[in-house]
Structure 1
Amino acid sequence: MSTATLTTPGDVEITAPDITALGPDATRALIETTVDRARARYAAGVVVETAGSPDGLRRLLTELGFRRDASRGDAVYLRDLTLAADGTSTRVLDNPALASLGGHHARFAERRGEVVRYQADVSPWAGFPDEPTAADWHDAAALLGSGAHLGVSAAAELPEGWVELEGFSGVQLTGEAVEGRQDPEAVALTPDDVPEILDLVERAKPGPYLARTIELGRYVGFRDGGRLIALAGERLHPPGWTEISAVCTDDEHRGRGLATRLVLDVVHGIRQRGDLPMLHAAGGNTPAIRLYEHLGFTHRARPATRFVRVP
């Protein structure tokens, strides 16, 4: 074995000695069931350590779409679940909250059945199955509470009492070609800065920002005369990606390119970690979308997300 880590955030591990004792048919069934459940939860992948296992297990894994991952060890096999239909590693972006809460942000997760949400003072995002069952709708209502908003897939059939919300359209953009640039004047923000951040967010209204949102990633800003006047940072973190969020500038300081500089600084930090940047924008926020397009972000075609209200 090499010294590489066997799993990364979002991976599901199957231990080979446990499954080989089951017999060929049961082993295949367990692996296939694990892959299906991991895919439904938008996991990054399924990992199997095969050291000491018979060759038949490795042949079975190869047949089921696993490939040896030498970066993790000579006997490690991986089934990559991040790949979209076109072969790009964007599948986790179809349900980024679910992917984040099952991986890098698992410490912020509150779960009931297959429904998961961020802790209430961290983020309003929740992860919900693409093909929900009656139990999933019940669990969502219990976990989120009456009146909460929830993003669901376009094909989901709403139960009685659930109301679809109008005017909540949005776009998702990815920045595979955006390299970023570190800005020497950008100031790293800490929990001590949260009162100022909340004040700026209230004035500029980039979207929800809560008392502990700053714990989700790196946030930076610009100050003028000691006063925070611009902000940007990291929010959702599905495997291989990081979302740029809370991009805003005080009205009195717009037109100076501050948002552009902060976005590029955040992108630089994301790329230095080996991740790719992505972001969401309200469908009607044309100025922001044009800015992101100018920086090299591109629209990602995906099924529309509908927002509904818990009865």
Structure 2
Amino acid sequence: MKILTKEEEDAHYATTVKGGLTGGAIGLAVGAVALYGGTRRFQLLRGLTIPMKAYLVSATGTFSAIICADRASRGFELERHPNHAYVDNAARTTEALEAGKTSSERLKDWGRENRYPIVTASWVASMGIALGLVGRNPYLSRAQKLVQARVYAQGLTLAILIATAVLEVGDASRGKGRWETVKILDPDDPEHKHVIEKRIHHEAYEGEDLWRDMVEAEERKIAARKQATAHASHEHPPAKQAKGQENKDQISHESKSAGKVDYAAAAAMEKKTQERQAEKEADARKSAPADGAKVKDRGEY
């Protein structure tokens, strides 16, 4: 879990230690009572050394302390962060399916899901039963009794393992297991009469499929945005004619601007030409009287 503050870290540590100590005390008590009852009943346990007996009791207490400390830590996390207890779509679908099952179907499902703990528990139980049966034989030594009990326990465990393998093969052939295709009511049907097939995932731990729901929610948001954009563009299409007219007006304005620039340059050039022509005419008028006087003088001579 994520610890945000020093106070929260201290509270988490105290809760975990308290849970571990409580579980350890309960485990030690249960282990001591079980060992005491076993030594009174079985000669094999009475023959164990004191260190071995202490190990059995302490191992039981250690195991119980670890389990209780972990549960206390998780309980603290759920208490401080209730959003972590979010139930995803797969869990809700599984709960709806479980609610409609009979007691026999639930018992079969429980045995299928807890097949390996059942195998372990059956081995321990068969060892205890076999030791109890073999321990009554006074003609066998302690080692012979232990070997005989182990043979019986192994035989029973092998039979349970074979049954477990048969269940595994049956699940694989029926498409069951971590992924399963089931029939459920269509949630989009207002009359709740239409049945659809849905492939669900059985979580190995709580919240395993949380990331799947987050991805699906984000995909739905993206699809909704795309649909809204397409709907808006369909209702308000772009004005192509107006845009074309705008381009035409821009070209006309640029052409007129260019024409104005050319006209101004031509007018300035024409003005300069007229000024030069006027200067030439003025010079010609000034020089005309002088030429006439010279011609007259020549005629008088």
When the two structures are superposed, what TM-score results if normalisation uses the length of structure 1?
A: 0.22
Q: Tell me: higher relative CO, structure 1 or 2? Use CA pairs within 8 A at least 6 residues apart.
A: 1
Higher helix share: 2
